[in-house]
Amino acid sequence: MIKKNSLLIRILSSFVMLIIFFVMISSNNFIFLTFSQLLLFLTSWEILRMLEFKRFINKKVDCSNFLLSKFQVGKYDLILICLTNFFVFLLNFPLLGLQIFSFILIFVCLLKLSEISVVKIICLLYVTFAFIFLNEMSQSSEFISFIVFIVFFTMIVDISAYFFGSIIGGPKIIPNISPNKTVAGFVGGIIIPIFFCTIIFFKNSNISNIIFLSLIFSIISQFGDFLESGFKRYCFVKDSSNLIPGHGGLLDRMDSIFPLIIFVSIIKLLDYNFFFIV
């Protein structure tokens, strides 16, 4: 049976995320840049705080947000977040000298960090590149179409996967990483988005192109979900933070959005035309 409260919260939080992104992209460049920098700072902070929590956990325990809230990022990690934000901010301006200088500061800070790890660097690069690509996309005339599609598509994937997984149940797809996700949910998160995209965008492209891209997008979107679930398992936490009361942190809401932003940006750089652009 579907837990109605969980499904309702999932739907509402998805719409709130859609509204937030719509406000961001509809605002002037300064407001958009401010919001994107704030999101980058908070998501980076969540990652480093989870890793800080893991350092003090020697065995698997049932960790809650209450326990996680006791751990804060160290001073070097906080400096690292600020310098990363500074670097991404400068990429929006033709200031090559300052960009190189900020990169050097980040590199020096990495050397100064007492316990730098490959996992920390990979995680920070992951979210940082997502926001670099997001800022790069914002310069395009098609930006609103792209970002609305990405957020809406991930919302459909998430709700469809949850609905099918709750109704059908069945075998788990990767129980060691995400014990609640099923094969039925994974398949449902592919079929429904393809159906929606076929109906909405059929007039703008051929159906085989729509099905192919929808399939790729849905797999990438769910991969981002699994990736964040695996990272939370790695850190022994339930949610990325308690920034959103009753529903975790920003990473919990944007885990499927980040990989799609990166993927869409890369293939757009390769001058690939999407099915939803006439």
- Coil, strand or helix: which one is 119? helix
Least confident residue range of 22-26, 135-139, 172-176, 230-234 = 22-26
Structure confidence at residue 7 (pLDDT) = 60
Q: Per the confidence metrics, is the pTM higher than 0.75?
A: yes
> Can you tell me the distance from the alpha carbon of 147 to that of 168, in angstroms, rounded to the nearest whole number?
31
The residue type of 71 is F
Residue spans of the domains in the chain: they are: 4-269
> Can you tell me the distance from the alpha carbon of 200 to that of 155, in angstroms, rounded to the nearest whole number?
15
Asked if 181 and 165 touch (Cβ cutoff 8 Å), the reply is yes
Structure confidence at residue 103 (pLDDT) = 77
Long-range contacts of 91-100 (CB under 8 A, 24+ apart): 91/132, 91/135, 92/33, 92/135
pLDDT digits (tens, 9 = 90+) for 216-247: 999 999 999 999 988 988 888 888 877 766 56
Query: 């609103």: which residue's tokens?
Result: 144
> Can you tell me the distance from the alpha carbon of 47 to that of 72, in angstroms, rounded to the nearest whole number?
11
Our measurement of the distance from residue 18's CA atom to the centroid of its chain's CA atoms, rounded to an integer in Å, reads 13
Ordered DSSP codes for 54-113:
HHT--S-----HHHHTT----HHHHHHHHHHHHHHHHTTTT-HHHHHHHHHHHHHHHHH-
Q: 1 falls in which pLDDT band (50, 70, 90)?
A: very low
> Can you tell me the distance from the alpha carbon of 67 to that of 221, in angstroms, rounded to the nearest whole number?
29
Nearest Cα neighbor of 11 from 219, 193, 181, 161 is 161
pLDDT digits (tens, 9 = 90+) for 127-150: 999 999 988 888 777 787 888 888
Q: Phi first, then psi: give them for residue 270, nearest 5 degrees.
A: -85, 5
Nearest Cα neighbor of 90 from 77, 105, 76 is 105
Nearest Cα neighbor of 44 from 101, 82, 94 is 82
Structure confidence at residue 92 (pLDDT) = 80
Tell me what percent of the residues of the chain surpass a pLDDT of 90. Answer: 10
Beta bridge partners of 182: 172
The residue type of 198 is T
Structure confidence at residue 147 (pLDDT) = 82
> Can you tell me the distance from the alpha carbon of 278 to that of 193, in angstroms, rounded to the nearest whole number?
20
Structure confidence at residue 113 (pLDDT) = 66
